[in-house]
Amino acid sequence: MLVMRDDVRLVTLTGPGGTGKTRLALQAAAATADDYPGGVWWVPLAPLRDPALVLESAAKALGAPGDLAEHIGDKRLLLVIDNFEHLVAAAPDLAPLLARCPNLTLLVTSREPLHLGGEHEYAVDPLAPAEAVELFLTRAVAARRDFVANGEVAQICERLDHLPLAIELAAARVKVLSPGALLQRLEQRLPLLAGGARDLPERQRTLRATIEWSHELLTPDEQRLFARLAVFRGGCTLDAAEAVADADLDTLQSLVDKSLVRVRTDSGRFWMLETIREFALERLDASGEADEVRGRHAEHFLELAEDAEPHVRTDSQVWVDRLEAEHDNLRAALDHLQSGPSGQLVQRLAGALWRFWYLHSHFSEGMRRLRTAMARDPRPTATYAKLLQGACVMCQGLGDNVAGLRHAEEALELERRLGHAWGVAYGSLLIGNCLSEAHDETRNLRAARERLAESARLFHELGDRHYELIATHNQGWIIQDLGDAADAKRVHEATLVIAREIGNHAIEGESLAQLGMAARDEGRLDDAVDLLRASIRIDVRLGLRSNIAVQLGRLSSVLVRRGDAETAARLIGGSDAMRERLGAAIAWWAAERNAETLGMIRSVLDPEATDRALRDGRALHPEQAVALALGEPQ
């Protein structure tokens, strides 16, 4: 295969929608996986609309916290990028990536070539006649168990040019049509509905006719819902379909039965194949109600984001995961609002989402969205202050504490002018965090402690025990860094009690971790292990994946002191791999601690054993790494 040749770096599978490009790419990736020790990585582009997100999506898939090319380096890996055709403006960005990564191979699916130097285009042909018949029979029996094939099935497949998607759509009709009736309708419909533009490939015109034929068989209510559902990117829940598209459950189920809409049994989300969705979008645009439907879509997801915001503020994993599932729809809502007349609506949505972007490490996109929203309406409002707070946190995630501090100070000044007491308290918290987290001349621990103490006092006056606890807990870190370990320990013992009292499990887990590190420094290694394992169990229960990666590194530093250097090395590897999967940057203090731990490991194990343990750790699934940390069977 082309992807196995050393002299081939870029392979593009081309062809119209429905020919099976994605299926072939999956098969090729599976067949060649052993040839890529750096792994095979899948990057789906179908839900995206912004070419600037292509490399960011690839970085996210690989867990690259920063520069994608730097992360890949000289690793031999295969990157499969699916559905590139609508983002071809980003194709030139692939050339420098290939130039900087000498062992990287790209396998791309697209309806048109990328026109890059060194590109090997592979036109994906339709199925062979026997494969087409087999696919039709499989789908037909799934739709109707008593279906019996005859010679007309092969003729149907031939009429459909052996296109997989067209065959699936046609096979779904055997519930109500015999093969003979199906063939007759195709004979009548295909010449009539070969209505694609003449400059489209012939197979795409045929596929368009097949989809249009299925569409014409729908009732008016089904056609209306089919068009409206196209507004969703990445699918939707039943509630969203009802709210935005005025979906009736029976009508929606009918579209599922007819293979125009699909449903994921694990999540209950409804979605369309992209080729079908494009056709449905044409129908939506021609319906005269596209603006109204897009407006309802944006309104629905603005409401979702604002409903989620107070829960995300307290790190509710259920709500964070819900936003992640709808991220493509939230992007679409932002895009629609950005093109509309109201800058305030854009700002409300971006302001409600920034904590989610931070928790799931969407730092670059979040920063870009926040800047765009701020530019729409720079008036000094409470919403604008919220955007500044988000910009501060995004900068911290990107490692730019100087810019983060600037945004935090501007937000605090605005909150004071507005007389917003909670915002003033939160601004002091952000400034304290920036001053303490910096790893340059802006780091000022004493000033940071003063800011956090002020923040805790203000939150106490407001009766916000949650954020008072956060500000107090963060002071404990600073006190530790200032050299007063005993006082820091007292702070974390106090925050542990309060966290349990008010049900703040995230701070409970982090307080346990800090007490575990204190026990390590006091030489109470068994206690340290118990405390850190308790912290990990809480983080697992809450789904705080980035916290788990941090705790694995902390536990590693205890285990190497307790004489288990091999497990310590495996946990370091597991921590690094987990963080990379999340796309989360490693804090400088965590990097320094891990470097110290690794030095201790290398003083005990020989280089080969150390490297082997690190590799073994990196190969662990996150659940296996957690089991190793907890001393449980993997």
- CATH number of the domain bearing residue 73: 3.40.50.300
In a domain, 251, yes or no: yes
What is the distance, to the nearest Å, from the Cα of residue 6 to the centroid of all Cα atoms in its chain?
Answer: 32
Q: How far is 446 from 438, CA to CA, in rounded Å?
A: 13
Residue type, 211: I
Reply yes or no on whether the pLDDT at 1 is more than 70. no
Reply yes or no on whether the pLDDT at 189 is more than 70. no
Average pLDDT, the chain: 90
The angle formed by the CA atoms of residues 168, 170 and 190, to the nearest 5 degrees, is: 125
pLDDT of amino acid 355: 93
The verdict on 100 and 36 lying in the same domain is yes
**Which range, 13-27, 181-195, 238-252, is most confident?**
238-252
In a domain, 340, yes or no: no
Instruction: Give me the mean pLDDT over the 555-567 stretch.
Output: 97
Element counts in the chain: helices (H) and strands (E): 31, 7
pLDDT of amino acid 187: 62
The verdict on 110 and 137 lying in the same domain is no
Asked if 15 contacts 110 with a C-beta cutoff of 8 angstroms, the reply is no
Q: Which of 123, 157, 178 is the last residue of a domain?
A: 123
Query: Residue 141 belongs to what domain range?
Result: 129-216
Dihedral sign computed on CA atoms, order 536, 538, 542, 544: negative
Out of 77-91, 177-191, 342-356, 386-400, least confident range: 177-191
Q: Which of 107, 123, 139 is the last residue of a domain?
A: 123
In a domain, 243, yes or no: yes
The verdict on 151 and 252 lying in the same domain is no
User: Between residues 264 and 531, which one has the greater pLDDT?
Assistant: 531
The verdict on 62 and 115 lying in the same domain is yes
Reply yes or no on whether the pLDDT at 290 is more than 70. yes
CA atoms within 13 A on the CB side of 248: 8
Residue type, 133: V
Asked if 587 contacts 553 with a C-beta cutoff of 8 angstroms, the reply is no
Q: Which of 216, 243, 265 is the last residue of a domain?
A: 216
The verdict on 6 and 54 lying in the same domain is yes
Reply yes or no on whether the pLDDT at 278 is more than 90. no
In a domain, 457, yes or no: no
In a domain, 117, yes or no: yes
Which segments within 267-321 are labelled E, that is strand?
Answer: 270-271
Q: How far is 21 from 14, CA to CA, in rounded Å?
A: 7
Long-range own/partner contacts, residues 182-191 (CB < 8 A, 24 or more apart): 182/152, 182/156, 183/152, 183/155, 183/156, 183/159, 185/213, 186/156, 186/159, 186/160, 186/213, 187/159, 189/213, 189/216, 190/159
Asked if 452 contacts 408 with a C-beta cutoff of 8 angstroms, the reply is no
Q: How far is 17 from 385, CA to CA, in rounded Å?
A: 45
The verdict on 113 and 10 lying in the same domain is yes
The angle formed by the CA atoms of residues 120, 122 and 127, to the nearest 5 degrees, is: 170
Structural domain tally of the chain? Answer: 3
Reply yes or no on whether the pLDDT at 540 is more than 50. yes
Give whole-number Cα distances, 287 to 224, 260, 281, 292, in Å: 8, 18, 10, 11
Parallel, antiparallel or unpaired: strands 40-44 and 262-263 = unpaired
Out of 101-105, 181-185, 281-285, 560-564, least confident range: 181-185
Which segments within 439-485 are labelled E, that is strand?
Answer: none
The verdict on 156 and 233 lying in the same domain is no
Per-residue confidence band for 583, with pLDDT thresholds at 50, 70 and 90: low
User: Between residues 546 and 448, which one has the greater pLDDT?
Assistant: 448
Predicted TM-score (pTM) of this structure: 0.78
Out of 50-54, 72-76, 310-314, least confident range: 310-314
User: Between residues 197 and 488, which one has the greater pLDDT?
Assistant: 488
Using one digit for the tens of pLDDT, what is the confidence trace for 133-169? 999 999 999 989 989 888 899 999 888 878 888 888 8
The tokens describing 225, both together, are 């819902």
In a domain, 312, yes or no: no
Percent of the chain with pLDDT over 90: 68
Per-residue confidence band for 120, with pLDDT thresholds at 50, 70 and 90: very high
